[in-house]
Amino acid sequence: MLSSVQNPRILLLHCRWSKPLHHHHRHYPKAIHAAAQAQAISTSSPTSQIQIIQKSIHSREKTARQFAEEFINRLRLTEPHVKSFLHVSETVLNEADEIDRKIDRNEDVGPLAGVLVAVKDNICTADMPSTAGSKILENYRPPFDATAVRKLKESGAIIVGKTNLDEFGMGSTTEGSAYQVTANPWNLECVPGGSSGGSAAAVSARQCVVSLGSDTGGSVRQPASFCGVVGLKPTYGRVSRFGLVAYASSLDVIGCFGSSVADAGILLQSVCGHDKLDATSSKREVIDFTSQFVAKDYLESQPLKGLRVGVIRETLGDGVDQEVVLSIRGAISHMEELGCIVTEVSLPSFSLGLPAYYVLASSESSSNLSRYDGIRYGNQIVSDELSSLYGGSRANGLGPEVKRRILMGTYALSAGYYDAYYKRAQQVRTVVQKSFKAALDEHDILISPAAPSAAYKIGEKKNDPLAMYAGDIMTVNVNLAGLPALVLPCGFVQNGLPVGVQMIGAAFDEEKLLRVGHIFEQTLQGRLAQHLHLLINEMNVDPSISDRRLRRPQGCTPMMKSRHYTIEEWDTKPIRKIPSLVDLCVQKAVDNVRYLGDVGETDFHLLERFLPHCTVEQLMHIEDSTEDRDLSPVTDKLWKNFYVLQFGANSTNVVVERMKEKRVSFKWRQLYEAKVKDNEEAQQKSFERIKQLYKKENAKKQSRQVQLCTKVPPSTNKRGFWGGGPSSNIGNTKSGIMKKAKLEFLNSREVKNLSAMKKTNFQNNQRVSPIIKKPSHFPGKSSSTPSSSKFSTATSTARRF
Amino acid sequence: MALTLFRGIQSRPLLPRPSTFITRKHVFFCSMQNTQTETTTTTTKTKQQTHSNFTETPRAKAVEKVLKDYEAIIGIETHVQLATMTKAFCSCAYSYGSQPNSCICPVCMGLPGALPVLNSKVIEYAVMLGVALNCKLSLNSKFDRKQYFYPDLPKGYQISQFDIPIATNGFIDLDLPLEFGGGHRRFGITRVHMEEDAGKLLHTGSRSYSQVDLNRAGVPLLEIVSEPDMRTGIEAAEYAAELQRVVRYLGVSNGNMQEGSLRCDVNVSIRPIGQLEFGTKVEIKNLNSFSAMSRAIDFEIARQAALYNQGQAEEIVQETRLWEEGAQKTVTMRKKEGLADYRYFPEPDLPEVIFTEEYVNGIRDSLPELPELKRRRYEEMGLSMQDVLFLANDVNVADFFDATIAKVPDVKLAANWIMGDIAAYMKNEKLSINEIKLSPQELSELIASIKSATISGKIGKEILLELMEKGGTVKGLIKEKDLVQIVDPVEIEKIVDKVITNNPKQLEQYRGGKTKLQGFFAGQVMKESKGKANPGLVNKILLEKLNAKN
């Protein structure tokens, strides 16, 4: 379940794929259904999104346009919160249509056909601005595509947009962007990591299928760890740097993000290879990485038997978060179970890498960034003198972190200091390379955390560059040595944020890394599924086994705990420390519940876990957008709870009595909605009355020619459920994020959702005629209302983008 | 040169920003336009000019005087633009005089994300020149970045070579022209390294802004740094001329100074004879011909000596001075404030340059014969130094000469023909030796015909003119015009008899003692024979006949 916990959305997606037999399938043709089953049921592991898309569009079971719409709709909904994109393409749907047409004509569409790829904004694209996150390149459009982008397009991929980054890739939080701060989809108050924070967040929030980033000192791996996605930094030279806006040329590599190892591997496959436009790109032949991805069922009991794994001792010592260490240790014992021979290995030069990296990277960047002088492109200030033109354009255009590094680099390269800094750092680099070489001669892969901590709060390290630099300690050595490394999620820290494990391989041996990573991912998933079954069985036997509670994420109120019983009884038989995974992923589903829509095939046990966390609107939205399935077994008691909360226990008892008398089977939702409607009507009436009174008063006053206050009373009716007293209790039960979400909802009234709600309400008419006029802020399932949603999508497009 | 305003190419898709004007207040290269004005001069002419300047101008005399007390130390940095098909690090083709900013691409414009890829021809040419200059080649060298800001430098750094140049420690041999006293010289070469050229600033008439032309940006250059071995302007000019000869012999550059394909910056310092330390050196730029070089250096030596003599030696400061062709003097361009820190560091975008000894040997074996070897060979053939210098000066002339003597190995005759009639014709018609219609094969044929007495020398000259103008073969012309020499004594005797009978008066006078009339008779015979009679035979028979009756 590893990568499924990357995001609640994908968790549900996987549940859907993995349990296809439980529910009937809406529109899958039989043949493809069998094929999908063969894969989905058997693995129940992080499925390659790319493979799913390929299968679906080629079998015409789903069109590329449908996939594109799905992602684009989610992008629109999540983007205001996550802010991972600097530019979103307007032609995504057209390109998807083009792919559909090509498929209809049986033309070759390429291995990434219909796959939405986001590209870090420091990678040049001819049809979109490429700013590298800097003001000095604001609105700059390169005349050419980067080689990686060109290859993507040739493979049929759809470039969905350009993702946010620290200016020129200099930073570890994405706060260094000149345009916006990207949030971590796991916790919007946290940083997504950097510099490829936008690309990592976009994959994590499922705004795109896969994305390209760049890794100079860990800029792919650290955000992958922070955002709980898979990040792959290939060997230096494996992917052409042509079109990558240079930060430190001898360290820069274009890397891949995906929600599974397979996705990252497939993406790498299509962008790598020699390029005659990049003299440093390798001429080595590229092997087929994708053939590595064997489904779990075909794996032996110890699929990694004999694999020599070295754990870098220095990376689990002082200065590393103990919870991170625990997660890594968990991953290590999992690898042992897979048959690996795990030993500790010491790299004494490890701590030297960080200072050497900052000297080399700054030196090269001071040179690489000289071209931004405002003469040929980029923002130029008006000046009547050359040196002030240079000075002014650069002072205006470049951000503080960039200036800091240019100054450091200029200093390090100055006459008289060159030997002490640059040359010395190069010597360290050689030492680091040698020590890695030696360690990799004795081990197949090396293991370390991807970052010394999980994601931290936005702003926490912004004014402390040294602390931020120190966070790169796990990753920079790999860049200095030019080796490939794979980061994939392996656990969580207390507050529910993901932790990634870094696997380092020998130069140009991405193949092995991907194979090991894939097996690791698949089998960890299996274990979790086991745990899940165990849990479910236990719950069936005795629903209140234990008081042992998981440590709750911070910000959970006691009330939430009291209602949230089902989850916390689990973990009675801890097989190991990390299995809090499932809980945490459920917790993430809860925290991000507003991204949910159709939960059609999700297991009831899972629903029982997170639905209690929903607000009225969320629950309503989920129920309404879930087709062909009655959620009432789970939700009925929740609606009862809401009823009690909203209208008091007395009123509830009265209703229960009344219903018993009438011997009617009823659903609490209907009752709730009816009651709400009654209340609203009553409110409306009283409001009308007050208005009338005011009018009368006004008329009187006017007649007396006395000007009095003409203020309109506050429109209480518009504030609905949470405006009044009782509902504030519900509000209090939610974390800060939910409050935020509510506020955002209050401010945004989507035509689309309004119409979706209307339609749904109409469909639900036979229950109770609902009177909810308030539009939901949750994404509606567009397929439920084909005609209206089409229209509303168009309108929302026009408004938002 | 037709200059298109940079503004005129706004629509060029490669230019993300249309306005590339920069202000020019502190732009120094104000007189660069001058470089375009001078007309092409051949090296021969340059030499003659140099000569005349040296002996005629009072300045040169002053220098001669100065050199009795002071010694000038001259070192030269030469930039040779390589005649590769494409630029050094991208696939743009460059040709001199193209519309501004028409030979550019993202790489040579320094756009974000563009990367340099080395043109392997640059290495080949650099190795060729390194071998030709007798240098020690570095089998492992690398590129470095030289960083400074200037609007014509798109990347903010120049890709160059710093601590490991591709070739070091060489020398160049040359022979000074006889006009300057002759003599053989060997000047040391400190280093040869590869680098890329920068763009050009075009200064507009309005003087409110300057324009950038990036056509030249990224064109490969070889920088050749000499040891400070030269002592006079003539030596410096000859060094540059020899370098030009070498690059032209090798075909690595057209070596054209007017187009800037060969640019020399000269460092001059003087010191009182006997002093060990060097004086303060002054750099002179904007030298567009060898004669300008020689004159500029002489001026500079005189200027510095004058300052020494006036006790103002401290006014000689380290600076860059500009040669003004119009005023025939050097003026201060910029004073160097300390040593510029170019913050060199290895270019990370390019791999190291590694080649093998075999590669170098392969190139060494395929090198053409170089000027110095050629001169030595001609000298051994017995040609005079003047002939040697003339023939070896231009690679095409030398090739012509070599091809001519390949068939008929009479070097003296071939040299005389080439240096005499052919050179005069070329000079009059302003043609190069490749442009005249005469082929070396025909010239050797002509020489052979004269030597074998098939035609006379006089007729040879006539035919030559026709061959140079219209082409054709010697044999064809001889046949066509019936020009074969009459070598049959009987036939000549007949003509002689005829002439003698026709001129009884003159015969009488001759026999009366006026023997000078022999010439008259010879002329008459030649006239009668339409010039075809062999002059030797005519004279012999004529004498016999004239003196017979005595």
β partners of residue B533: B486
* DSSP 8-class letter at A414: S
Q: Does the distance separating the beta carbons of B345 and A422 come in below 8 Å?
A: yes
pLDDT at B48 > cutoff 70: no
Mean pLDDT (chain A, rounded): 76
Confidence of residue A209 (pLDDT cuts 50, 70, 90): very high
Write out chain B residues lying below 8 Å of A370, CB-based: 147, 149, 155-157
β partners of residue B270: B72
Looking at the complex, report in whole angstroms how far the Cα of residue B192 sits from the nearest Cα belonging to chain A: 23
β partners of residue A253: A215
pLDDT for A478 equals 96
Alpha carbons B515 and B497: distance in angstroms, whole number: 17
> Is there a contact between A230 and A514 (Cβ–Cβ < 8 Å)?
no
**CB contact A382 to B (< 8 Å):** no
> Is there a contact between A22 and A606 (Cβ–Cβ < 8 Å)?
no
| Beta strands, E only, B37-119 | 70-81
Collapse the DSSP code of A613 into the 3-class scheme (helix H, G, I; strand E, B; otherwise coil) and give the result: helix
Question: For B301-323, how does the pLDDT look when each residue is reduced to its tens digit (9 = 90+)?
Answer: 999 999 988 888 888 888 899 99
**CB within 8 Å of A170: residues ≥ 6 apart:** A176, A195, A247, A365, A401, A402, A405
pLDDT at A208 > cutoff 80: yes
3-class DSSP string for A588-612: HHHHCHHHCCCCCCCCHHHHHHHHH
Nearest Cα residue in chain A from B118 = A279
Q: Does the distance separating the beta carbons of B115 and A277 come in below 8 Å?
A: yes
**CB contact B177 to A (< 8 Å):** no
- Cα–Cα nearest to A414, from A372, A356, A371, A359: A359
Q: Does the distance separating the beta carbons of B350 and A280 come in below 8 Å?
A: yes
What DSSP line would sit under B491-519, residue for residue?
Answer: HHHHHHHHHHHH-HHHHHHHHTT-GGGHH
Alpha carbons A775 and A617: distance in angstroms, whole number: 9
pLDDT-wise least confident of A595-609, B198-212, B421-435:
A595-609
Mean pLDDT (chain B, rounded): 83
Confidence of residue A576 (pLDDT cuts 50, 70, 90): very low
Write out chain B residues lying below 8 Å of A281, CB-based: none
What DSSP line would sit under A454-465, residue for residue?
Answer: S--BTTSSTT-H
Question: For B65-79, how does the pLDDT look when each residue is reduced to its tens digit (9 = 90+)?
Answer: 777 788 999 999 999
- Cα–Cα nearest to B195, from B224, B167, B160, B163: B160
- Cα–Cα nearest to A411, from A362, A474, A449: A362
> What average pLDDT score do residues A407-433 get?
92
CA dist list (Å): A81 to A85, A163, A202, A222 = 11, 14, 11, 21
Looking at the complex, report in whole angstroms how far the Cα of residue A238 sits from the nearest Cα belonging to chain B: 14
pLDDT for B549 equals 59
> What average pLDDT score do residues A180-185 get?
94
pLDDT at B525 > cutoff 80: yes
Q: Does the distance separating the beta carbons of A385 and B23 come in below 8 Å?
A: yes
Question: For A748-797, how does the pLDDT look when each residue is reduced to its tens digit (9 = 90+)?
Answer: 544 445 445 555 444 444 444 444 444 444 443 434 434 444 444 343 43
Q: Does the distance separating the beta carbons of B156 and A367 come in below 8 Å?
A: yes
Nearest Cα residue in chain B from A248 = B348
Confidence of residue A360 (pLDDT cuts 50, 70, 90): very high
User: Is residue A195 annotated as a catalytic residue, yes or no?
Assistant: yes
**More confident site: A749 or A414:** A414
Tokens of A705: 């020619």
Rg (Cα) of chain A, in Å, rounded?
A: 28
**More confident site: B136 or B500:** B136
pLDDT at B108 > cutoff 80: yes
pLDDT for A403 equals 94
Confidence of residue B284 (pLDDT cuts 50, 70, 90): very high
> What average pLDDT score do residues A467-494 get?
90
Residue with the two structure tokens 């503080």: A400
Q: Does the distance separating the beta carbons of B17 and A144 come in below 8 Å?
A: no
Which residue in A120, A153, A162, A588 is the catalytic one?
A120
Alpha carbons B245 and B241: distance in angstroms, whole number: 6
> What average pLDDT score do residues A88-92 get?
95
Burial code (b: 16+ CB inside 10 Å, e: under 16) for B425-464 equals: bbeeeeeebeebebebebbbbbbebbeeebbbeebbeebb
Tokens of A656: 């229960």
Alpha carbons A332 and A340: distance in angstroms, whole number: 9
User: Is residue A728 annotated as a catalytic residue, yes or no?
Assistant: no
Q: Does the distance separating the beta carbons of B345 and A418 come in below 8 Å?
A: yes
CA dist list (Å): B464 to B403, B435, B445, B461 = 17, 15, 11, 5
Question: For A12-68, how does the pLDDT look when each residue is reduced to its tens digit (9 = 90+)?
Answer: 333 333 333 333 333 333 333 333 333 333 334 567 889 999 999 999 899 999 999
> Is there a contact between A191 and A416 (Cβ–Cβ < 8 Å)?
no
What residues of chain B, 17 to 56, have a C-beta less than 8 Å from chain A? 17, 19-20, 22-27
State whether ipTM is beyond 0.85: no
> What average pLDDT score do residues A398-408 get?
93
Tokens of A103: 């498929």
Confidence of residue A426 (pLDDT cuts 50, 70, 90): very high
pLDDT for A330 equals 86
Rg (Cα) of chain B, in Å, rounded?
A: 30
Confidence of residue A192 (pLDDT cuts 50, 70, 90): very high
pLDDT for A718 equals 43
CA dist list (Å): A560 to A485, A586, A730, A783, B190 = 40, 14, 9, 33, 81
Confidence of residue B550 (pLDDT cuts 50, 70, 90): low
Between strands A158-163 and A116-120, the pairing is parallel
Alpha carbons B399 and A278: distance in angstroms, whole number: 42
**More confident site: A556 or A588:** A588
pLDDT for A375 equals 87
**CB contact A143 to B (< 8 Å):** yes
pLDDT at A329 > cutoff 50: yes
> For residue B335, with 0-12 CB atoms within 10 Å meaning exposed, 13-18 middle and 19 or more buried, which class applies?
exposed
Write out chain B residues lying below 8 Å of A410, CB-based: 343
pLDDT for A200 equals 95
Alpha carbons A161 and A92: distance in angstroms, whole number: 9
**CB contact A413 to B (< 8 Å):** yes
Which residue in A3, A84, A172, A195 is the catalytic one?
A195
Which of B349, B350, B352, B354 is the best residue to mutate to test the A interface, defined by the most A CB atoms within 10 Å of its own CB?
Answer: B349
pLDDT for B236 equals 94
Looking at the complex, report in whole angstroms how far the Cα of residue A418 sits from the nearest Cα belonging to chain B: 8
Alpha carbons B10 and A766: distance in angstroms, whole number: 67
Alpha carbons B216 and B153: distance in angstroms, whole number: 10
User: Is residue A544 annotated as a catalytic residue, yes or no?
Assistant: no
Confidence of residue B537 (pLDDT cuts 50, 70, 90): confident
pLDDT at A581 > cutoff 70: no
Confidence of residue A524 (pLDDT cuts 50, 70, 90): confident
pLDDT-wise least confident of A87-101, B132-146, B204-218, B481-495:
B481-495
> Is there a contact between B159 and B90 (Cβ–Cβ < 8 Å)?
no
Residue with the two structure tokens 């931020």: A468
Confidence of residue A509 (pLDDT cuts 50, 70, 90): very high
Write out chain B residues lying below 8 Å of A364, CB-based: 345, 348
